[in-house]
Amino acid sequence: MPKKRAAKPVLTDTGEDLTPEALAVELQTEFGESAASTGKIVEARDYISTQCPLIDYSIGRNGIPTGALTNIYGEEGSGKSTVLYHLLAETILRGGYAILYDAEGAYDYERGERIGIDFSKLIFLTPDHIEGAFDEIEAILNRVSLRNPNALVLIGIDSVAAAVTKAQIEGSYEDSHPAAQARAVSTAMPKLLPSIRKTNTALVVVGQLRAKMSIGPSWGGPQTTQIAEGSLKYYSFLRMYFRKMGEPYGDKEAPTGIMSLVDIRKNKTAPPYRTTQFPIDFLHGIDIVQSKLTLAVRLGLVDLRGGWYKYGEDSFRGVDFGDILTKNPDIDEALKLAPLLWREKL
């Protein structure tokens, strides 16, 4: 004899209209207070400035978002680590926790100090492998959420391409570990991001492009990729691509800087696909004053007439813009509001 199906539970009608608010309350009663709610449940995120007004303007916010993952990637020597240094300096300046996993072992202490990083307040993660770094990051998130949930936190990984895995360290030279870093990142992101979203933490993963491995004939398409690009594309809230523009400027035998281009490839906080160029000084990082001048001209705050600039009654050369900013702090105030100008078009 075939088994009889179990009888469906009898549903009783209370006669009351089930409004969205009432449904949310019933779900909270059955599954817990965090089960459901109505209205806006995502709190406004904080943003950590890159200290470069041109980059912030391209992002469309006053920096990178907290509670999310930001992916900085691009060519070698294009300014990726420099931007991360400025983010660390800004976090420390605002009294937050700045944490760096220097997988490359290439941190430049003198340059970081010139950019504005206080080493007594910078926390270095020094695990033997990337899995250990993710364990330490998880421990940081747990401690911060319990003791100081509103604290500003920036965690930088520089870079995922240089990180090694536990299997690579414990294995022999004959072992093959294809896509080991990618698997580690793909496993860690779903575990870390829920905790990051609940805190005022920004996770920044830096990646460098490398030749793309292919099996069989290639029929066009991108020839380069970054380690764990698939996972980083999916989980990132903001993705910024960097590349050098032209040759380094200054003396040919002793160049002093480069022009770098940033392309916002993914952006969930503002309109994406914006690009801009900004100057990087090899000794002092992003040339913030010249970046402000370029943006001020773009916004019409400062007029460019031939080789001279004009603000109000003052005419000046580009190298003197720092003095103009000192005398006119209202320019800085206007530039701080510039990243949000896209909202006026809505």
What does the pLDDT look like over 295-342, one tens digit per residue? 999 999 999 988 899 998 889 999 999 999 999 999 999 999 999 999
pLDDT in tens, 85-112: 999 999 999 999 999 999 998 999 999 9
Rounded to whole angstroms, the Cα distance separating 302 from 298 reads 8
Both structure tokens of 235: 């989980």
pLDDT in tens, 271-294: 999 999 999 999 999 999 999 999
Rounded to whole angstroms, the Cα distance separating 285 from 114 reads 8
Rounded to whole angstroms, the Cα distance separating 337 from 295 reads 12
pLDDT in tens, 134-162: 999 999 999 999 999 889 999 999 989 88
In this structure, are residues 67 and 73 in contact, taking their beta carbons and an 8 Å threshold?
no
Burial string for 307-319 (b: 16+ CB within 10 Å, else e) reads eebebeeeebebe
In this structure, are residues 124 and 67 in contact, taking their beta carbons and an 8 Å threshold?
no
Give residue 9's pLDDT band: very low, low, confident or very high (50, 70, 90). Answer: low
Residue 344 gets which letter from DSSP? G
Angle at alpha carbon of residue 121, lines to 116 and 125, rounded to 5°: 110
Both structure tokens of 151: 């604290």
User: CA neighbours within 13 Å on the CB side: how many for 4?
Assistant: 3
Query: Strands 308-311, 314-316: parallel, antiparallel or unpaired by DSSP?
Result: antiparallel
Q: Distances from the Cα of 67 to the Cαs of 5, 280, 320, in angstroms?
A: 47, 28, 39
Both structure tokens of 107: 């941190």
In this structure, are residues 60 and 269 in contact, taking their beta carbons and an 8 Å threshold?
yes
* C-alpha closest to that of 236 among 271, 267, 282: 267
pLDDT in tens, 247-275: 998 888 899 999 999 999 999 999 999 99
pLDDT in tens, 16-64: 678 898 889 889 999 988 888 888 766 668 999 999 999 999 999 999 9
Angle at alpha carbon of residue 200, lines to 92 and 104, rounded to 5°: 55
* C-alpha closest to that of 138 among 183, 198, 50: 198
* Size (the chain), residues: 346
Rounded to whole angstroms, the Cα distance separating 66 from 204 reads 10
Is the pLDDT higher at 275 or at 1?
A: 275
Asked whether the predicted pLDDT for residue 221 surpasses 80, the reply is no
Q: What are the φ/ψ torsions at residue 204 (nearest 5 degrees)? A: -120, 120
How much is the pTM? 0.90
Residues 339, 242, 88, 319, CA torsion sign: negative
In this structure, are residues 188 and 129 in contact, taking their beta carbons and an 8 Å threshold?
no
Looking at the DSSP bridge assignments, the partners of residue 266 are 239
In this structure, are residues 203 and 192 in contact, taking their beta carbons and an 8 Å threshold?
yes
In this structure, are residues 23 and 16 in contact, taking their beta carbons and an 8 Å threshold?
no
Query: Strands 275-281, 122-125: parallel, antiparallel or unpaired by DSSP?
Result: unpaired
